Amino acid sequence: MRWHRWLRPGAVVAVSIALLLSGGYSVEAKKGGGGGGATPLIMHVYDSVVDEQNTTAFYNNGQEFCAGSTVPVQDSNWMGDDQLAGSSAAYGFGAPWTAVGGLVSTRYDHGDDCGNNCQRVQFDSGNKILTLDTRGTTGPRRIAVDFTDSCGLADGCPGPAGDPAVFGGLLSTDGLLNVFLDFPYLSMEVCSSTTCPEAQPAFAKFWFTDPDDSSVTWRIDWTFLRVLRMSETTWYVIADACDGTQVAGLSKLIGKRTQPKTVFNGFYKIPFFLAVELKP
């Protein structure tokens, strides 16, 4: 696994594990806790990862990562629920990007699929947090996660490998996804090249309830990933093998909601590729 230019390699293991084990729920993990400055969105969660960013040039740290369009389409472990078909094209923004067709995605719209709660797809907390919340929606709208590709120290991950048989290896659940930036998504600059020096580092968390014990919550943590603003209205969020950003940790949260006991399960490779666009 290769690490980002924003951290010294020697600090990564300590920082990664500290981020994974710290706290239980962010303010966004509480239903309805959107904070100020919410902006409604449409999200497309793709079943494959296409990464055309030239990350070798982007990181510019003497390491070889991935060089744009030479990266093959990868199968993604993070999938939509197939309830509503979404966009099938990526990088359709003209030069220097290559139009990509034939992909499959699931669409999530802010304010739709209302049950006990309506679906939340929005920028929250002053537009610094991307939220997808399907809890309490009709169906309910779900996210499927594949845990079969566990990843330990021998694979270059910063800690122990998880149990690939957890939840039977594949889980389909409603839940809450947050992708965190240090500043508003709306203030990002649009990519000027396939290197996209305008891209920003982020981290993500996904909370869901144990399917057999409603008193137990689980959390998946991606400590590093990339956000690219592709146009004035569209953003891509990518976690993949190009730079090891697909590595995620799974933790079990037991006890009090605000201060649960955190039991770390281990690391997995869970890549994903999603697009969000401003809702008209």
Instruction: Give the tens place of pLDDT for each residue, 155-189.
Output: 999 999 999 999 999 999 999 999 999 999 999 99
Instruction: Give the tens place of pLDDT for each residue, 120-149.
Output: 999 999 999 999 999 999 988 999 999 999
Instruction: Give the tens place of pLDDT for each residue, 209-222.
Output: 999 999 899 999 99
Q: Rounded to whole angstroms, how far apart are CA atoms 151 and 153?
A: 7
8 A C-beta contact, residue 239 and residue 76: no
Q: For position 47, what pLDDT does the model report?
A: 87
Instruction: Give the tens place of pLDDT for each residue, 76-102.
Output: 778 777 778 888 888 889 999 988 888
Which pTM was predicted? Answer: 0.87
8 A C-beta contact, residue 268 and residue 151: yes
Q: What is the residue whose two structure tokens read 């309506």?
A: 118
For the chain, the structural domain boundaries read: 9-278
Partnered with residue 79 across adjacent β-strands are 144
Structure tokens at 57: 């040039």
Buried b (16+ CB within 10 A) or exposed e, 51-60: bbbbbbebbe
Taken in order 32, 38, 44, 47, the sign of the CA dihedral is negative
Q: For position 33, what pLDDT does the model report?
A: 38
Closest CA to 19 of 200, 217, 248, 273: 248
8 A C-beta contact, residue 250 and residue 262: no
Closest CA to 5 of 183, 244, 220, 250: 244
The length of the chain is: 280
Q: Rounded to whole angstroms, how far apart are CA atoms 160 and 253?
A: 18
Asked if residue 271 has a cis previous peptide bond (ω within 30° of 0), the answer is: no
Q: Rounded to whole angstroms, how far apart are CA atoms 142 and 251?
A: 20
Q: Where are the alpha helices (DSSP H) in the chain?
A: 9-21, 55-59
Other beta carbons within 10 Å of 223: 23
Taken in order 95, 97, 102, 105, the sign of the CA dihedral is negative
Q: For position 30, what pLDDT does the model report?
A: 40
Q: For position 258, what pLDDT does the model report?
A: 72
